[in-house]
Each structure stands twice: as structure tokens, then as C-alpha cells.
Chains A and B, each alone.
Chain A
Amino acid sequence: MMNMILAKRPLGPNVVELVVEAPRIAARARAGQFAVVRLHERGERIPLTLADWDPGRGTITLVVQMVGKSTRELGERFGIGDTIRDVVGPLGSPSTIRRYGTVVCVGGGVGIAPIYPIARALRAEGNEVIAVVGARTKGLLLWLDRIAEVSSELHIATDDGSQGVKGVVTTPLQEVLATRKVAHVWAIGPAIMMKFCARTCQEFGVPATVSLNAIMLDGTGMCGACRVEVGGETRFTCVDGPEFPGDLVNWDLLLSRLGTFTYEERYALERYVAAQGGRS
């Protein structure tokens, strides 16, 4: 069987990097795509963006922020040599990679990892890549070395000013857009961050692509759980996206739909934490 975890390392508090054996996905993956994983027989299906892949070794890299029951279970209870029951992919439409000129890639928090393959692909296509990354605090920044490798400039922002400029990613983004002729911006991170990046880009008349993180179930276009409104039209994030033009996204709808199962998610997490406590 496939899906064995070959490497695992912490990237910060509550964030882990996993290298998973998945040769079929690795062979076909392209920037912007994601996988759906199910940990075990009783597990749910959760989407995780492909942060990296190696067709030669037949592996994919997932960067997981432990926010709820399933992600904590994956980060805490799955280790090297363990097998993830189901890993499906690559899913979603790949990023449109072509020669734009100068592009800015913005990654927020755990979104820094999935912006990396996009930046790498854009750079390989001959674009000048300016990276802007941000997190709440220094310890939550990740993959700075990798991002630096594929960009000509690296701008960092932290909410508390512990590294780079104090503030959110839109601060350095604004500065870059004001001083450079930028053809296109990519932004990946929390919905609220992408919303404000899109707004900033709009002010400068620069097109922005965002990667939406809607709730998903199958991830293959058969249920519409991940539906969003883009330019007034209903679209399925898993098939039509996950990338969409930021200025056309109905952000309020996305944010409200992300809250559909808030109560159930909290309950499942509390129950998991209690069970963990009982065991140790």
C-alpha cells in the first residue's frame, strides 16, 4: 500500500511538515493543486494543499496546521512509518503559470508553504518573483529559506514586529505595489488575509489570484459543499478552483460558509483532547 509517512518535522508551534509516499500524485501534481486525505476508517475527508512534490522519489509534502480534531490527530498521532488510509489527488485546477513579468507571491501563516510551488513555477517560467510573507509572530514563519530560493526579494511582516516589519502582509504588499510595476499577485492564507490582499491589489489596479479554502467533502465536484460565488456566479472550489480572481470573490459568503460546522468542530476537538488527556 501507499501513503506511508516517510518524514515528519515540526515547523513551529502546531505546524508539521509531512513527506508522504504518493507516486501517482507526485507524477502529475502541478502548482496550485491539492490533495484530500482521510486518516483512518472513521476519519473525515480534509483538503490539504500540495506544498511540494518529488516525482523521482514519488513523494508529496504536506504542511499541516493543527487547528481541529483531524489535523491534530494527523500531527500528533501519525509519525514516520505510519500510513494515511486515503490520499487522493492531485485535485483542483492548476495555477495559470505563464510569463507575466514581475509577480508578487503573498503567503500568510501556514499559507507560506503552498505559495512556494507557485512561486517556484512562476520563477521557472521566467518571471521576477517578489515574495511577501507574514505571520502573527516570528515563530510561526516557515519555509523562509525555500521562499528565498525562488524569489528575488523577500519581505516579511509579523503582527508583533518580532521579525521584519510590524504589521500584516498588506503593509509590505502596498509598498511593493507602490514602487514597482507588478503584473500579477498571488495570495494564500486565511480568508480574511486574502480578502484584504485582494482589496489592496484592486486599489493599485493589479490582478490578484487567491486560493480559496472552502469546506470540502469529496473534492471531485459531486456535492457542491465547497461552492463559492465569484463574479456573482456559483462555482465549485474543488473543480473550478481553488484559485479565483480575488476582486470577484464574495468573501462574506465564504466566511459564513466556513462557519457551517463551528459547533461540531469544537465538540469533536474537545472530545479528542479529553481522550488524549485520559490516555497520558
Chain B
Amino acid sequence: MIRPTQVPMRERDPQARTRTFDEVPAGYTPDEAQEEAARCLQCRDAPCMNGCPVNIHIPKFIREIREGDFRAAITTIKQTNNLPAVCGRVCPQEVQCQAPCTLGRRFEPVAIGRLERFAADWESQHGVQVPEVAPPTGVRIAVVGSGPAGLTCAADLRRGGHAVTVFEALHEPGGVLMYGIPEFRLPKRIVQGEIANLRKMGVAIEVNAVVGRTLTVDDLFTDGYEAVFIGTGAGLPQFLGVPGENFTGIYSANEFLTRVNLMRAYLFPEYDTPVKVGKTVAVVGGGNVAMDAARTALRLGAERVMILYRRTEAEMPARVEEVHHAKEEGVELHVLVNPVRFLGEGGRVEGVECLRMELGEPDGSGRRRPVPVPGSNFVLPVATVIVAIGNQPHPLVPRTTPGLRVAEGGTIWTDEDGATSRGGVFAGGDIATGAATVISAMGAGKRSATAIHRSLMRSRRRL
């Protein structure tokens, strides 16, 4: 008999967890992992693998977990995935690997993400094996940006024997993994651990190097790098563009989360960066970033946190699991509302005026378009507002790199391999696609690494 439901993962109690930044899910024990692994049907055609952007050999690593050979399992995963502890935590598996799972047609699909996380965490407790690296090729490659796309690209190129240097603008590598996703969802020691592993493989990382200011892509070629991968992400925050948005007390989600995650403002004054959260907080938006911001605000002591979203819960782009966690912790969802103006006194925000919405015809995204209900204006008193309505591609590198074709919306144009309009320059992740997921950025980094490797090896042979 196959167990119809996934082995549940233990989680911290919602009441207790909203007071700490500790990770919410506890992860599987070895017994739980083996029990869940036993649910896998070991399909010969492995449809799950088609759903994984970095093509992990899923049935193989699950079989190894079932057999209790956890070392073999993590080795299998790391053949194609360089950041398994991260992916096991933040990938939307329900729409990726777990969506095509055969078992999922009748029962709950295999909990592939939880098993990946188990294998990665097991390895970090039992000694990390550094993946093997091919003999030196003598080729130097620069990677701009150390988020999921850049780190994946760098690791794969390094495995191919190339000398890889990653240039990061902030003082810590990791991109959105460090500044965006909160500690309670992705502990920073996990990210730092995975990055330390890349360093052990020989990937060099230079922080505080702002490409576009400190140096340019042209400088990199002058310095002898033979190829450049741009993975600078979608770090430009979007604002609503409504009156009063610059009052104090109104943060972009990027600012709010960077203060808390990267700068550890939740530990102020032990850490020097402050963050201020009033009693009543409104978060505008319905994606994962909005959920992260809302749950973070609660943990900083807000008494009431409201999510303001202009469509309904069914259209929310956030993962179901994240919305569920937020609601469990006491975050209020206010749907079909749209802020039209902020009200303030002495420069500080005190209220948000909203319009009620109703759903009309489907728009370009296929979702029903929210239409304002005339005269439905109402005011919510708020002390803090966090705007989480999305990010645009960061313009600094496109603006300072001649010969790069930039598509509408500021993304860098690339072909399927990530090759840009300029020879030797590749791009991938959010800078090429617009804001998307961690795993799609990693997939893009991987494809570009393969393409860069092939083109460099081809030109070598010609010499």
C-alpha cells in the first residue's frame, strides 16, 4: 500500500514562531525522509525531472534516500544542482518537479523539495564533499551578480575547469537569498554555507564591486576575462506612483527586507542598522515578497498587519504555502482593494485611502482584471506601509555596457542559451526575464554556463 499523503514536516507553533526569526519548518528526520522516499514509484520516464529547471536525477536520489544512503543522494543532487539546501526550501515545487509527479494524479505528489532539503541538511551536518573540478582550461570568466543565476553559472563553469570570478555590488554574496528572503524561511547560515562550498571549489568572489560604477563590463574584457555572464537581477523597486508615497514610514519591500535580512536590523542595537515598524502595518501586493514583508513586520512587533491586494486570493502570485503561513500567523488579507493615496501628518504616513475593486474581463496575463468600484473610497489608519508590487530589471549594467540590446521593460535581450547581442556576453535570471523565481534563475545560469563552455572550447580548438 502506498501512503496517499505526504509525510508531514514538523513546524514551529504559529503563536511562538511570530516572536522569533527562527526557521518555521523543522525538516525531516532520517526516518521521515525514508518513509516519504518510499512513496516514489521510480517511474522509468521520470516526468518529475522535466519539471526541474536544473534537471536533478530525482528518482535516483530518492531511491538512495529510501535505501538509507544519504551520502549518495546528496552526491546525485549536486551533480546538477549547486544550491540544494536553498532550492529545497524556496522552490515552488508544486508548479515545478512535483506538478508532473505520477503519484500526484491520484494522491499527493512525492515531497521532492522536502527530500532535497533533507539530503542537503544531512550533508551539512555530516561533512560536505566538495564537487570535483576539471583540470584548468586557462580561461578566465567573469560573473556579474552573486544571486541564484550568477552562483549557479559560476559553479558550473568552475566545474568545467575555468577560472571564475564573481563580482558582487553588496558586501555579502547571495543576492535575493541574502537580502530578500527572510531568515525564518531561509536561514542566512544555510546560504553562507552553500556559498562557502562554492569558494572551496575555487570560485573567487569579489564583494563591493559595483559593475557599472566601480568597473564596467568593458574593463572586464580589458582585464583578460574571455566571457562575461550578467546576472544582476531585478532589483529596481516599483512604486505605486500615487500621492503621498514618499512620506516617512513608507518603505519599498526591498528597503524593508534589506534592512532586516542583510543588515540584521531585527537585532538593532546590537547591529547598527535601524528599522521602524508601527503598530499597524499595510503591505501592498500579493506575491511572495509581500508575504515575506508581512510576516517580517509581525516579528518586529507590529500588532496588526494587513495585506492589501487588488485581486482575490485565487489570483495571488504567492505560493499557497506562504499565504497559508502568513494567515496562520495572523496576517489579515484584504483583497479587492487598491491604494489610491497616502495620508500623512508632518511628513509621516498615517493612513491609506483605498478603492474597492471588482473583477472584470481577463487581461493580458489571463487573470481577471481588477476594476475600481466608483465611490467606494475608504481610509485605513496605518503607521507603516511596505510597497511590494514587484521589481524591475536593475538598469546599471545595461546602461553602462555598449552594444547590449535591451528589450522593453529594461530586460537584457538574450537567445535561448543566454547569449546577448554582444559577443562573449551572456545574461540570465531576472535581468533577462523580469522578476521570476530562484529556480528559473538557476536554470538560466546553468544553460548559460553550458553555452559559454561550449563556445570557449570551440574557439580554443580553432587556435
Among candidates A87, A228, A268, residue contacting B274 with C-beta atoms closer than 8 Å = A268
Flag if B246 contacts A234 (CB, 8 Å): yes
A227 CB contacts on chain B under 8 angstroms: 246
Among candidates A42, A221, A228, A259, residue contacting B270 with C-beta atoms closer than 8 Å = A42
Interface residues of A: mostly helix, strand, loop or mixed?
Answer: mixed
Flag if B276 contacts A70 (CB, 8 Å): no
Flag if B215 contacts A28 (CB, 8 Å): yes
Flag if B248 contacts A257 (CB, 8 Å): yes
Q: Can you name the residue of chain B whose Cβ is closest to the Cβ of A270?
A: B269
Q: Can you name the residue of chain A whose Cβ is closest to the Cβ of B238?
A: A224
Alpha-carbon gap, A228 to B245, bound state (A): 11
In the complex with contacts A220-B169, A223-B255, A252-B245 CB distance below 8 A:
no
Flag if B263 contacts A268 (CB, 8 Å): no
**B21 interfacial contact with A, CB 8 Å:** no
**A45 interfacial contact with B, CB 8 Å:** yes
Residue-wise, chain B 205-222 has the 8 Å CB interface mask toward A (1 for contact) of: 001111001110000000
With both chains docked as a complex, state the minimum distance between the C-beta of B130 and any C-beta of chain A, in angstroms: 24
Residue-wise, chain B 91-115 has the 8 Å CB interface mask toward A (1 for contact) of: 0000000000000000000000000
B276 CB contacts on chain A under 8 angstroms: 260-261, 264
Chain A, range 222-260, C-beta contacts under 8 Å to B: 222-225, 227-229, 234, 239, 252-253, 255-257, 259-260
Flag if A224 contacts B208 (CB, 8 Å): no
Among candidates A38, A88, A225, A268, residue contacting B210 with C-beta atoms closer than 8 Å = A88
**B192 interfacial contact with A, CB 8 Å:** no
Residue-wise, chain B 73-104 has the 8 Å CB interface mask toward A (1 for contact) of: 00000000000000000000000000000000
With both chains docked as a complex, state the minimum distance between the C-beta of A104 and any C-beta of chain B, in angstroms: 29
Of A25, A223, A253, which is in contact with the most chain B CB atoms at under 10 Å from its CB? A223
Flag if A44 contacts B263 (CB, 8 Å): yes
Q: Can you name the residue of chain A whose Cβ is closest to the Cβ of B233?
A: A222
With both chains docked as a complex, state the minimum distance between the C-beta of B297 and any C-beta of chain A, in angstroms: 16
Residue-wise, chain A 57-86 has the 8 Å CB interface mask toward B (1 for contact) of: 000000000000110000000000000011
**A43 interfacial contact with B, CB 8 Å:** yes
Flag if A86 contacts B208 (CB, 8 Å): yes
**B171 interfacial contact with A, CB 8 Å:** yes
A-B contact count (CB 8 A): 116
Flag if B235 contacts A222 (CB, 8 Å): yes
Among candidates B214, B271, B348, residue contacting A28 with C-beta atoms closer than 8 Å = B214
**A24 interfacial contact with B, CB 8 Å:** yes
Flag if B214 contacts A86 (CB, 8 Å): no
Chain A, range 116-160, C-beta contacts under 8 Å to B: none
B264 CB contacts on chain A under 8 angstroms: 42
Alpha-carbon gap, A239 to B272, bound state (A): 24
A217 CB contacts on chain B under 8 angstroms: 255, 258-259, 263, 273
With both chains docked as a complex, state the minimum distance between the C-beta of A221 and any C-beta of chain B, in angstroms: 6
Among candidates A221, A257, A261, A267, residue contacting B396 with C-beta atoms closer than 8 Å = A221
Flag if B347 contacts A256 (CB, 8 Å): yes
Flag if A218 contacts B170 (CB, 8 Å): yes
Among candidates B274, B394, B396, residue contacting A265 with C-beta atoms closer than 8 Å = B274
With both chains docked as a complex, state the minimum distance between the C-beta of A44 and any C-beta of chain B, in angstroms: 4
In the complex with contacts A85-B171, A264-B268, A264-B274, A252-B347 CB distance below 8 A:
yes
The bracket for how many chain B residues form the interface is 35 or more
**A271 interfacial contact with B, CB 8 Å:** yes
Of B213, B236, B264, B347, which is in contact with the most chain A CB atoms at under 10 Å from its CB? B213
**A91 interfacial contact with B, CB 8 Å:** yes
**A32 interfacial contact with B, CB 8 Å:** no
With both chains docked as a complex, state the minimum distance between the C-beta of B170 and any C-beta of chain A, in angstroms: 6
B241 CB contacts on chain A under 8 angstroms: 234
A255 CB contacts on chain B under 8 angstroms: 347
With both chains docked as a complex, state the minimum distance between the C-beta of A65 and any C-beta of chain B, in angstroms: 17
**A108 interfacial contact with B, CB 8 Å:** no
A85 CB contacts on chain B under 8 angstroms: 171
With both chains docked as a complex, state the minimum distance between the C-beta of B50 and any C-beta of chain A, in angstroms: 34
Flag if B213 contacts A91 (CB, 8 Å): yes
With both chains docked as a complex, state the minimum distance between the C-beta of A270 and any C-beta of chain B, in angstroms: 10
Flag if B214 contacts A88 (CB, 8 Å): yes
A256 CB contacts on chain B under 8 angstroms: 247-248, 346-348
Alpha-carbon gap, A224 to B269, bound state (A): 23
B394 CB contacts on chain A under 8 angstroms: 221-222
**A89 interfacial contact with B, CB 8 Å:** yes
**B165 interfacial contact with A, CB 8 Å:** no
With both chains docked as a complex, state the minimum distance between the C-beta of B101 and any C-beta of chain A, in angstroms: 37
Residue-wise, chain A 256-280 has the 8 Å CB interface mask toward B (1 for contact) of: 1101110011011001000000000
B258 CB contacts on chain A under 8 angstroms: 217-218, 222-223
B207 CB contacts on chain A under 8 angstroms: 86
Residue-wise, chain B 223-263 has the 8 Å CB interface mask toward A (1 for contact) of: 00000000000011101010001111101101100110001
**A114 interfacial contact with B, CB 8 Å:** no
Alpha-carbon gap, A91 to B263, bound state (A): 20
**B372 interfacial contact with A, CB 8 Å:** no
With both chains docked as a complex, state the minimum distance between the C-beta of A26 and any C-beta of chain B, in angstroms: 11
**A90 interfacial contact with B, CB 8 Å:** yes
Flag if A88 contacts B171 (CB, 8 Å): yes
Among candidates B254, B270, B396, residue contacting A223 with C-beta atoms closer than 8 Å = B254
Of A88, A89, A224, A267, which is in contact with the most chain B CB atoms at under 10 Å from its CB? A224
Among candidates B171, B215, B237, B239, residue contacting A86 with C-beta atoms closer than 8 Å = B171
With both chains docked as a complex, state the minimum distance between the C-beta of A260 and any C-beta of chain B, in angstroms: 4
Alpha-carbon gap, A239 to B210, bound state (A): 12
Flag if A24 contacts B209 (CB, 8 Å): yes
B396 CB contacts on chain A under 8 angstroms: 220-221, 239
Among candidates B272, B348, B395, residue contacting A221 with C-beta atoms closer than 8 Å = B395
Of A218, A229, A234, which is in contact with the most chain B CB atoms at under 10 Å from its CB? A218
A239 CB contacts on chain B under 8 angstroms: 396
Alpha-carbon gap, A42 to B273, bound state (A): 8
A259 CB contacts on chain B under 8 angstroms: 248, 347
With both chains docked as a complex, state the minimum distance between the C-beta of A139 and any C-beta of chain B, in angstroms: 29
Alpha-carbon gap, A25 to B247, bound state (A): 34
Alpha-carbon gap, A212 to B13, bound state (A): 47
Alpha-carbon gap, A69 to B272, bound state (A): 8
A261 CB contacts on chain B under 8 angstroms: 274, 276
Flag if A257 contacts B259 (CB, 8 Å): no
Among candidates A43, A89, A229, A253, residue contacting B213 with C-beta atoms closer than 8 Å = A89
With both chains docked as a complex, state the minimum distance between the C-beta of A173 and any C-beta of chain B, in angstroms: 28
Q: Can you name the residue of chain A whose Cβ is closest to the Cβ of B347?
A: A256
**A-B contacts, 15 listed (Cβ < 8 Å):** A42-B270, A44-B274, A86-B208, A88-B208, A89-B210, A90-B213, A91-B213, A220-B213, A223-B252, A224-B255, A225-B252, A227-B246, A253-B246, A256-B346, A261-B276
| Closest 10 pairs between A and B when the two form their complex, measured CB to CB | A256-B347, A264-B274, A223-B255, A44-B272, A222-B235, A44-B273, A86-B171, A88-B208, A224-B252, A260-B248
